[in-house]
Copies of this chain bind each other. A is one copy, B any other.
Amino acid sequence: MTAFARRAERIQPSAIREFLALAGDPAITSFAGGYPDATLFPIDELHKIYDDLLTPGSAGALQYTASEGLPELRAQVAARLTADGMPCTADDVLITQGGQQGLDLTAKLFIDAGDVIVTERPTFLGALIAFNPCEPDYRSVPIDEEGMDMEALESVLRTTDRVKLIYTVPDYQNPTGQTMSLARRRRLVELAEEFDVVILEDTPYRELRYEGERLPTIKSLDRTGRVVHLGSFSKILAPGLRLGWALAPADVREKLSLLKLAADTQNGTLNMRAAAAYLTSFDIEAHIASMLPTYRHKRDLMLSMLEEHFPEGTSWTRAQGGLFTWVTFPKRLDIAAVQRDLLIPRAGVIVVPGAPFFAVEPESNHARMSFSGVPDDRIVSGVSAMGALLREALRA
């Protein structure tokens, strides 16, 4: 067979795939997936909607439609974004195949091989996977409880050629759960202006807020049209519908739409109609509000279990929303090895070892732990079993 393209070197199976395959095993307690809690999906409402959509005379729900997305759904998304401080119309919105496609399309639009993307340190692994086929170079900037470190970012921007994109998950970041403060959001926009780079703001967890203020999006602070804002229905409605959106300045949105047409013609018509019908017939804000106590409770349970069972020298983040906590172990502990040798065989517990979340210079003493899709009793038994095995590993 003829040779692959050069970019194929950047398309490698992730080390976490084997762990994620285990996640389907009912004997395994998985803190690995970034899955929402399926028991919270509005399945009765969606049942009614699909029942109404698939009737004789409504065959259009199964036909092709516009590549930018169903006009009604674009308008509804625009109305929600407007309410969230980003005044826009349907024309400004592109419907994407989940949030992930927004990452793929944005990278394609801005990144030539060798261009630099700045990410948080650590950052969302799926974004790196989406960006890699465009063959970027990366720089990474530490993230703390106020988000991306702006002094470190400024230093990178000042010393690095060809920076095209700054990628951030400002709300309840994946994998750390951290949230960028308002001051840093403002500073980020200033720096992007000063150094003429694009900000890619990814907000899949934004509406899963358990405490703290709702902060303005980075897009809402943008005065020069340099923010591409991504969002998703995956965590507020259901991921299996594969519906997300991109909000971008007109010239960018137009190019993203053409890339969407090239990539997969359009999103599924039936699912877009279903989402539009859901937004028309039901109160999604009430639905989101109804999910928050469950997630807040799971977060609190996990944090208290970590406090109770994890060994000294281990620390973790306290996410104000979203699905994740990020655990940092003593430097000498390689969590991937501990998982392979102890956690899986002796406790049937999996987490996501943190190394693949680093765009450069991976560190092996972190793990991402998700509380969102795990039953309470499994959170208790899984974290306590982990604690004992971690102590054992640290004594070795």
Contacts and interface: CB of A to CB of B under 8 A. Distances in A.
Contacts of A111: 5
A98 interface: yes
B35 A58 contact: no
Given A63-B240, A239-B64, A242-B265, A8 B43 contact: no
A370 interface: no
Given A132-B262, A265-B100, A41 B12 contact: no
A1 B50 CA distance: 42
A133 B259 contact: yes
Contacts of A12: 258
A1 B126 CA distance: 25
Contacts of A4: 109-110, 255
A101 B263 contact: yes
Given A63-B240, A97-B263, A242-B267, 19 more contacts: A1-B251, A2-B164, A2-B226, A4-B109, A5-B109, A5-B134, A5-B164, A8-B255, A11-B109, A11-B258, A11-B259, A13-B254, A33-B64, A39-B59, A46-B62, A50-B51, A64-B239, A130-B263, A242-B268
Contact of A226 (B1, B97, B261): B1
Interface string A1-40: 1111111100111000000000000000000010110110
Interface in A126-142: 126, 129-130, 132-134
A58 B33 contact: no
22 contacts: A2-B198, A4-B109, A11-B258, A13-B258, A35-B64, A36-B63, A38-B60, A41-B59, A41-B62, A44-B56, A47-B55, A62-B240, A63-B238, A64-B240, A96-B264, A100-B264, A104-B264, A108-B133, A130-B263, A241-B268, A264-B264, A270-B271
Interface residues of A, number: 83
Given A47-B54, A64-B240, A262 B133 contact: yes
Contact of A268 (B58, B109, B240): B240
A96 to B, nearest CB: 8
Contacts of A197: 2
A147 B7 CA distance: 32
A263 B62 CA distance: 23
A146 interface: no
Nearest to A52: B47
A392 interface: no
Given A6-B112, A56-B44, A61-B240, A268 B265 contact: no
Given A51-B51, A108-B5, A43 B63 contact: no
Nearest to A49: B54
B115 A263 contact: no
Contact of A225 (B1, B8, B64, B129): B1
A311 interface: no
**Residue from A35, A104, A198 whose CB has the most chain B CB atoms within 10 Å:** A104
Interface string A249-286: 10110110011011111111111000000000000000
A13 B254 CA distance: 9
A35 B266 CA distance: 14
A196 interface: yes
A65 interface: yes
Contact of A43 (B39, B58, B65, B126): B58
Contacts of A35: 63-64
A225 B33 CA distance: 35
Contacts of A96: 264
